[in-house]
Amino acid sequence: MPKGGDDTMHLLNTLNNGLWQWILPFLLPTAAVFCGIATRMAPLRHFGCLLKETYGTLFGKATHTKGPSQRQIFATALAATMGTGNLVGTAAAVSVGGAGALFWMWLSAPIGMLLVYSENLLGIRFRDKNVCGTPAYLKNGVGSALLAGIFSLCCVGASLGMGNMAQTNAMASALQGIGVPPSVSGGVTALLLVGILTGGSKRIGKITEGLMPLLCGGYLLCCLWLILRRAEALPGALLQMLREAFGLRAMGSGLGISAMLHAMSIGIRRGVFSNEAGLGSSAMLHCEAQDTTGHQQGQWAAAEVFADTAICCTATGLVLLTAPQGVIAYGSQDGAALLLAAFGAGFGTWAVWLLAICIALLAFATLIGWYGCGKTAFCYLFGQKNGAVYGMLYITAAFCGALGRVEWIWLLCDFCNGCMALPNLAGLYLLLPELRRLTGTCKIPENML
């Protein structure tokens, strides 16, 4: 890459270190604590009730609505949330940040549940016919069109980066392992997007509704089989995770605090990449729900974070940490290659095909899930009549992402995520009194309070 490109990467890396080592590791948990107090810890206090009212209703008869059904909204939001961040992102986090990064990813789950619950409570409260999601509570709640505009601009960037190019890059990397050139996988992905996105949210919802249960279930079963096969390595892996999370291994050399901060930074970055906690994207994904309350959408969003981080990221991390010694090349950013090595040690040569197909389908599901989020933000900035322009940008980015450098794409994703989180967190802090009021007045079952 030319020197200018290296300089840009160095600048992005410096900005990301400032955002993710010092600013957001403080702002995210602090915002979660304040939001938790304001909402009386609703998504955590009676966690069993939350699971019953979300996962427990998935197998009943779907209700007919004018827009996408609740099941379709959940599947689309889960597709946007549970993409390659659970696979490639977790692998990259463990490789670069050490085993301790997985611990900090775990910590991002309850933090994320409190944040997304609050985002949806506010998003449903302040939406109107012209604006919905996070821009709605920044503009109509905080009263700041500037904050809403900054957030929307950052959201468009994040949708093209994290929601798009990072996904197609992971897909291309995985499929290249079975002989598919990146240009071919990028071109086919772009063509498929054209056919799906023209069908609107209904078509997207139907595809994700059918795809996500099969993808998630199949992947988790594979991970469980690998972990159980190497069960004797599990206690050592958990001990290693705790030691490295707090820098205990490096304490003797005087680098303990530095090691802990590094693991914390990488873990929280990848946790947010995975569950999107604090970014404000959750409210964008749930704003199409009809005949609902903020509490209901907050519950669904919290359930998505739990499934994403506490279940899928944990499964991926434990597969890596229990892999035979010498299989994993630590220090690499190429998460797809790391996962392939871990799966190959357990499944043999056909693991290449298994993992390539799994990553490709999850990445594609995330692609179509994030489209609606980015389009809502784009249309807020430039008007509904320009929605087709965003569609063309999105399809072009999908092709370019397949051909891009993995290091550059990860740096861009981290930067866009951080910039997107800042105005959203500012809005949550400013609307804490409204959160307290909504918690006291909205229809929440007594056993949730």
**Cα 427 from chain centre:** 20
**CB of 434 closer than 8 Å to CB of 122:** yes
* Phi, psi torsion values for 311, nearest 5 degrees: -105, -65
d(CA 116, CA 175): 33
Residue 275 clears pLDDT 60, i.e. is over it: yes
Q: Is the pLDDT of residue 49 over 80?
A: yes
Residue 184 belongs to domain with CATH number: 1.20.1740.10
Answer whether residue 34 is part of any domain: no
Residue 6: is its pLDDT beyond 60? yes
**248 inside domain:** yes
pLDDT average, residue stretch 211-226: 88
Of 127-131, 145-149, 211-215, the least confident = 211-215
- pLDDT at residue 232 tops 50: yes
Q: Domain for residue 449, yes or no?
A: no
Q: Region 291-304: what's the mean pLDDT?
A: 90
How many domains does the chain contain in total? 1
Considering 11-25, 395-409, 423-437, the range whose residues carry the highest mean pLDDT is 423-437
Q: Is 287 within 8 Å of 116 (Cβ atoms)?
A: no
What is the per-residue pLDDT for 101?
81
Query: Would you state the structure tokens that stand for residue 330, as one six-digit string?
Result: 């630590």
Domain assignment present for residue 195? The answer is yes
Cβ-based neighbours of 299, under 8 Å, separated by 6 or more: 43, 50, 53, 54, 117
- Give the separation between CA 394 and CA 401, rounded to whole angstroms: 10
- Rounded mean pLDDT of 181-201? 89
The verdict on residue 254 lying in a domain is: yes
pLDDT at 250: 40
| Band of pLDDT at residue 2, cut at 50, 70 and 90 | low
Tell me if 40 sits within 8 A of 449, measured CB to CB.
yes
**Rounded to whole angstroms, how far apart are CA atoms 364 and 84?**
9
The whole-number pLDDT of residue 29 equals: 85
Establish if 270 belongs to a structural domain: yes
pLDDT tens-digit readout, 67-93: 678 888 888 888 887 777 677 778 877
Residue 7 lies in a domain: no
Alpha-carbon distances, residue 4 vs 17, 18, 183, 437 (angstroms):
20, 21, 25, 51
Taking only the tens place, the pLDDT of each residue in 307-361 is: 888 888 889 889 988 988 776 666 665 677 788 888 888 888 787 788 888 888 8
Residue 233 is classified by DSSP as G
pTM for the whole structure = 0.86
Average pLDDT across the chain, whole number: 83
Q: Check residue 144 and give its pLDDT.
A: 95
Instruction: Tell which wins on pLDDT, 174 or 85.
Output: 174
Domain assignment present for 30: no
Tell me: pLDDT of 156 over 90: yes
314 is in which domain, residue-wise? 68-436
